[in-house]
Structures are given as structure tokens and as C-alpha cells.
Amino acid sequence: MKPNCHITKLSNQIGLDGITEGLAHKILIGAKKEKLTSGRGPKSLAAAACYIASKITGNFKTQREISEAVDLTEVTIRNRYKEIIKRLNVIISL
């Protein structure tokens, strides 16, 4: 299953709104352009994209909520998160 499909499924599971889900898809497109998707699990990429999007839009979901929904460790999500924000120059201010 492609990461985009995982984003949609995860979004429904954890209750992300449409704006946040759309942003997660855009983040994933940027990650593909930067070649961050090669050799990475599609679920982990989708989870990280949803996590980043939730932080940006204020529809915040924790790494734990996301990890439980996709059956991954928080560490995996955190690693993908760090890779993506570093390469895409995403700045998240709280």
C-alpha cells in the first residue's frame, strides 16, 4: 500500500480534519521530491507526515496516538519526522 493510502486511513482513524490530511499529502509529495521515501516504510512516512501536519494546523495528535493507530513505535515516527522537517526546512513554532 502506498503512503498516500496510509495517510487517508490514518486520518480517519485518529480524526484529522480535511485541511490537516491535505497538508499531510503535500508533505509527503515534498518528501518524495527530496528522495526521502526510498527504503522507508510507507506507514512510517504517512505517520510522520500526519504528525507534522497536525502540529502545523493545530489539530495536534501525539506521536503515541499515531503510533498506536498504525502499529509502529514512537521512535520510528520521530525518526521519520526529524528527517522530513530537516530536509524540507519545515519550521514548527508552538
The CATH number covering residue 76 comes to 1.10.472.10
Other Cβ atoms within 10 Å of 32 Cβ, number: 14
Q: Is residue 83 part of a domain?
A: yes
For residue 93, being part of any structural domain is answered with: no
Q: For 30-71, what is the HEC assignment? A: HHHHCCCCCCCCHHHHHHHHHHHHHHHHCCCCCHHHHHHHHC
Q: Let me know if residue 67 belongs to a domain.
A: yes
Q: Is 89 helix (H, G, I), strand (E, B) or coil?
A: coil
pLDDT at 48: 96
The values of phi and psi at residue 47, to 5°, are -60, -45
How many folded domains does the chain comprise?
1
Give the model's pLDDT for residue 2.
Answer: 84
Per-residue pLDDT of the chain (94 residues; tens, 9 = 90+): 788 889 999 999 999 999 999 999 999 999 999 898 889 999 999 999 999 999 999 999 999 999 999 999 999 999 999 999 988 887 665 5
Residue 42 CB neighbours (<10 A) = 16
Q: Is residue 39 a part of any domain in this protein?
A: yes
Per the domain annotation, does 18 fall within a domain?
yes
Domain presence at residue 94 = no
Q: What is the end-to-end Cα distance of the chain in Å, rounded?
A: 33
Q: Residue 47 domain-assigned?
A: yes
Domain that holds residue 57: 3-87
